[in-house]
Chains A and B, each alone.
Chain A
Amino acid sequence: MDEAGCGGCQVISAEQRSSKHWELTGEGCEIAEQGSHEARVFSSIPDEGMPQGQLMKLAFGKVGFSKAMSNKWIRLDKGHEGGPRVFRTVENIEDSVRDKLLVVQKGQSSQLEEKEKSELKKRKLLSEVTVKSYWITKGSLFSTTITKQETELTPEMIASGSWKEKKFKPYNFEAMGVAPDCGHLHPLMKVRTQFRQIFLEMGFTEMPTNNFIESSFWNFDSLFQPQQHPARDQHDTFFLSDPAQAHEFPLDYLERVRKVHSEGGFGSQGYKYDWKIEEAQKNILRTHTTAVSARMLYKLAQKEKFTPVKYFSIDRVFRNETLDATHLAEFHQIEGVVADYGLTLGDLMGILHQFFTKLGITKLRFKPAYNPYTEPSMEVFSYHEGLKKWVEVGNSGVFRPEMLLPMGLPEGVTVIAWGLSLERPTMIKYGINNIRELVGHKVNLQMVYDSPVCRLDA
């Protein structure tokens, strides 16, 4: 409303009022003085008429001519010898336009009808003017002496004690403060930090996943995924043209892998197809971090004595699939692995419960599923209070013997594992619908600036 004070303690108070009235435009004034264009046309035509061309040359000719014609004050004889000629049709005229303008000029515009006024406004002869005015009245603190209000305490005031005599301008508690000029962490990375923390709290060791490029051997074959499997298609996997092939493998292990795929062994019938090393050598962008888990388990198996382990990783994987609002070609996979003697499905469920409890999820259900490298496999579902239904939160399973035994792991050792994506819980947590606003260069920076701390169990 005003700036001369603030709510309650005012020196003056001001009220804004506005009013409208009609005024003549510049052209309107000219007409009020000299008459309308059409009237002037009329009066300039002598009894014998006037050539049209000559009339048109007059300043008021063009507009006046057409108006006078429509008023039927003049007529045009097109076929007249010497060219088209304009004649008067009546003796006298009434310049109503000028009359109306004079009325308005006298301040009596209310005498005219609205229709008449808007017509004149259309001809740009009248304009409606709004006048804004302020009505000032004395406020509760009115005084004719000027007291200046201080805004802030200064060092001088503190030193001299002069603050005791000063009046301070009231602070506007309704406004926001000044945003600190700080940096921000990316929401997806904040969630990653939390998941990393959860794994560390549960005693899991971080796997080295800093290798986006992987051979088909470690990504597929060592996991007992057959070479004809659709996931190894051009459609789902990114193949490398340079470097196109991996050139180093543990050869005796590779031979055992070849055998279990093509002939069976280790208690299995195998897939019974021709296993080709050329397929295994093909380099790809890894489709899952399980490839790293395979490398780690192989390394573990090479040790003299087996020791139980718990491993985890959270890193980028690549899929050559169709993209949409929730799918990109690259995303982050979270994976946990436990290897020990005699682990059971009950143990897998137990560890999943512990893991998900740290995310604030306590109600879980398990559904039979299929993965080429785990058997049994279980999809993990949790109850979403908001949607009132069970939603999938992860995938899990027990690695197949055909994967573990060729590595050289002892027979009684079971390896359980589970995984989920990082993006999905992040999008749910931060209420983001389009993954491109979260990941990649099209990120909404304001969203990054504004995103809250990540508390997964809140």
Chain B
Amino acid sequence: MPTVSVKRDLLFHALGRTYSDEEFDELCFEFGLELDEITSEKDIISREQGDTKAEGASDVILYKIDVPANRYDLLCLEGLVRGLQVFKEKMEAPRYRRVSPTSGEPQRLVITEETAAVRPHAVAAVLRNITFTQERYDSFIELQEKLHQNVCRKRTLVAIGTHDLDTISGPFTYTAKPPDDIRFTPLNQAQEYTATELMNLYKTDSHLRHYLHIIEDKPVYPVIYDSNGIVLSMPPIINGDHSKISLNTKNVFIECTATDLTKAKIVLDMMVTMFCEYCEEPFTSNGNAIKLPEETLMDESTERIAQLLTKMCLRSEVMSDGEQIEVEIPPTRSDVIHACDIMEDAAMAYGFNNIIRTTPRTYTVANQLPLNKLTELLRQDLAAAGFTEALTFALCSQEDIADKLLKNISDTRACHIANPKTAEFQVARTTLLPGLLKTLAANRKMPLPLRLFEISDVVLKDETKDVGAKNNRRLCAVYYNKSPGFEVIHGLMDRVMQLLEVKPGRDEGYHIQAAQDSSFFPGRCAEIFAHGKSIGRLGVLHPDVISRFELTMPCSALDIDIEPFL
């Protein structure tokens, strides 16, 4: 969930009343927000860098509010206030209108075909006669950053540039040029650089270096010029210094360049709708209408529903047939794409906790998954046989399932993870044995003998499956003591067969015969056959296996596939 940090007093001032922390928490609960933390700049610095660095920092109270990931209209103070005020019916749901300039033509942004190779889309808008204060300005910059981090996917999908319109003149051109051909003074610098030089310069910039990769290796870089050849910006990296915004700026030119046009429009809509309240003519833009049929999830009159929706900034009116409601979706609500989104808002406005709960009349008879049923039954009896259940990780290192077991990784049919953060997540386990041995090693101080078991899934490559792999349910047990206890593990295996109603004997029943297996001590390993098929192995583990798992006592193990017994 994205977090928005707002000054509490500013928030209350805009809401027109103060709240206690509990009251505000309650309001957030109803609206679907979360008051995550109450802190101050001083507290934050103190926690991160120590009290001395925090001296002199502001102790103005900050509210850190978590907002739903799909509500881009709640990412700044302005949007939060608007949403809450309309929800509390203190304010009417705004209608956003697009207006023409008082004199002259609207501004134009011309996109050339060169951009197609690197960043094809762009949209732009103008906010006229806006008045900034320090707070509004900070909020404006902060919203761009929030949008960049969230919906813009760290500027890869969309990048926003804002400019003082009075320092530049249209029509504007959005094009792409080879890096050496782009030359301008970037924001907060005193001299001109070429784009190539800038790429080098920003390699050490802690903020900007994360975005260089987006265009770095391309033959041409995106760039926006005004009619006099002044560079507005080189998206998605940096704006030009010439057109930078200050507190005195009255007219703002906003451009969004993108690789995803839908997102670019959403982002532009957000920038414009959030800050148009500071323009001379607040709330000027437009949206679209959806007809909502009467299949709502609540039993309320159509009028009431229309009223509830309006509380959520979705202006609604009952249509002439008395059955349908026409809902106007403002540009701030890009999350509304289906009638169900509207229904949720109606329910929120009604209050989830006001809805009467009912019992579904769905009659069904439960069925257990046979594999799980068998597992549950066997678990109980293995514990009754004196073994303790372990629960080990499904992911492990390659070593764990190969080298440490004296086997080759290529013989294991293992599935490999592409992006493991550490060696512990290199592969999905192909056998339960390493997990059990590691459990023994971690519990060395416990009294001997140690008897562990686990009945769980391993993962094996399988080309016959649609994803190319499948799980296999296995039963694995280990006996760890001063003497290996082959007869104990053998006895356990006999017991399991007895529980599965498999009698000793070749062909129809089960039998074991000597086998070679590099993980086991020579002469102390057997393969188990049930109904003529091999189902697993048991034996005394090879001393090298024991040492590689950092164990010191002899150990015997049993490992069988229980799926044939379904």
Contact = CB atoms under 8 A, between A and B. Distances in A.
A212 B459 contact: yes
Interface in A235-289: 238-249, 264, 267-273, 283, 285
B442 A346 contact: no
B443 interface: yes
Interface in B333-384: 337-341, 343-344, 347-348, 352-353, 355-369, 371-372, 376, 379-380, 382-384
Interface in B448-464: 450-451, 453, 457, 459, 461
B443 A347 contact: no
A310 interface: yes
A335 B463 CA distance: 29
Contact of A443 (B385, B415, B439): B439
A421 to B, nearest CB: 14
Given A247-B466, A346-B355, A441-B441, A212 B389 contact: no
A351 B358 CA distance: 8
B416 A242 contact: yes
A43 interface: no
Contacts of A201: 366
A350 B358 contact: yes
Interface in B138-170: 153, 157
Nearest to B29: A367
Nearest to B296: A344
B194 interface: no
A234 interface: yes
A242 B415 contact: yes
Contacts of B153: 228, 230
A182 interface: yes
Interface in A313-334: 316, 318, 320, 328-330
A168 interface: no
Contacts of A270: 337
Residue from the set A184, A201, A446 with the largest chain B CB neighbour count within 10 Å: A184
Interface string A127-154: 0000000000000000000000000000
A208 B369 contact: yes
A375 B362 CA distance: 21
Given A210-B473, A330-B393, A347-B359, A400 B338 contact: yes
A31 B388 CA distance: 67
Interface stretch (B89-97, B109-117, B418-426, B516-524): B418-426
A189 interface: yes
B445 to A, nearest CB: 9
Contacts of A378: 352
A320 B353 CA distance: 35
B469 interface: yes
Given A309-B364, A441-B390, A368 B469 contact: no
A58 interface: no
B388 A445 contact: yes
Residue from the set B371, B380, B384, B417 with the largest chain A CB neighbour count within 10 Å: B417
A183 interface: yes
B428 to A, nearest CB: 6
Residue from the set B70, B394, B415, B441 with the largest chain A CB neighbour count within 10 Å: B415
A401 B344 CA distance: 13
Contact of B417 (A186, A205, A238): A238
Residue from the set A351, A398, A401, A440 with the largest chain B CB neighbour count within 10 Å: A440
Nearest to B460: A213
Nearest to A241: B418
A272 B347 CA distance: 27
Contacts of A369: 32, 68
B438 interface: yes
A23 interface: no
A398 B347 CA distance: 13
B467 A271 contact: no
A40 interface: no
A298 interface: no
Interface in A190-242: 193, 196, 199-208, 210-215, 228, 230, 234, 238-242
A204 B261 CA distance: 44
Contact of B418 (A193, A244, A351): A244
Contacts of A185: 379-380, 383, 389
Contact of A376 (B344, B465, B467): B344
B485 interface: no
A189 B470 CA distance: 22
B104 interface: no
Interface in A353-407: 353-354, 365-370, 372, 375-378, 398, 400-402
A120 interface: no
A248 B383 contact: no
Interface in B169-221: none
Interface residues of A, number: 99
B417 A345 contact: no
B500 interface: no
Contacts of B348: 368, 376
Given A189-B389, A240-B417, A203 B364 contact: yes
Given A330-B393, A344-B358, A349-B355, A368 B32 contact: yes
A228 B390 contact: no
Given A345-B347, A443-B390, A443-B442, A320 B419 contact: yes
Residue from the set B71, B365, B395 with the largest chain A CB neighbour count within 10 Å: B395
B32 A267 contact: no
A445 B443 contact: yes
A366 B353 contact: yes
B471 A211 contact: yes
A248 B466 contact: yes
Given A212-B459, A343-B360, A243 B262 contact: no
A249 B466 contact: yes
A14 B182 CA distance: 102
Nearest to A237: B419
Nearest to A442: B442
Contact of B388 (A248, A346, A439, A448): A448
Given A205-B366, A206-B367, A378-B352, A183 B383 contact: yes
B31 interface: yes
A424 to B, nearest CB: 15
Given A248-B466, A351-B359, A212 B417 contact: no
Contacts of A376: 297, 340, 343-344, 347-348, 352
Contact of B394 (A184, A316, A398): A316
A83 interface: no
Nearest to A323: B421
Contacts of A310: 362, 364, 366
A338 interface: yes
B260 A273 contact: yes
B360 A245 contact: no
B514 interface: no
A105 B445 CA distance: 52
A430 interface: no
Contact of B461 (A212, A242, A365): A242
A193 B376 contact: yes
B360 to A, nearest CB: 4
Given A210-B371, A344-B358, A376-B344, A401 B338 contact: yes
Nearest to B437: A441
B509 interface: no
16 contacts: A200-B368, A208-B369, A215-B466, A240-B418, A241-B416, A283-B467, A320-B419, A369-B32, A370-B32, A370-B70, A441-B392, A441-B439, A441-B442, A443-B442, A445-B443, A445-B446
Interface of A: 181-186, 188-189, 193, 196, 199-208, 210-215, 228, 230, 234, 238-249, 264, 267-273, 283, 285, 308-310, 316, 318, 320, 328-330, 338, 340, 343-347, 349-351, 353-354, 365-370, 372, 375-378, 398, 400-402, 416, 438-446, 448-449
A-B interface, 5 closest residue pairs, ranked by CB to CB distance from nearest: A243-B468, A368-B32, A370-B68, A376-B344, A441-B438
Given A183-B453, A238-B395, 8 more contacts: A186-B388, A188-B391, A246-B467, A320-B419, A345-B297, A370-B32, A370-B70, A445-B439
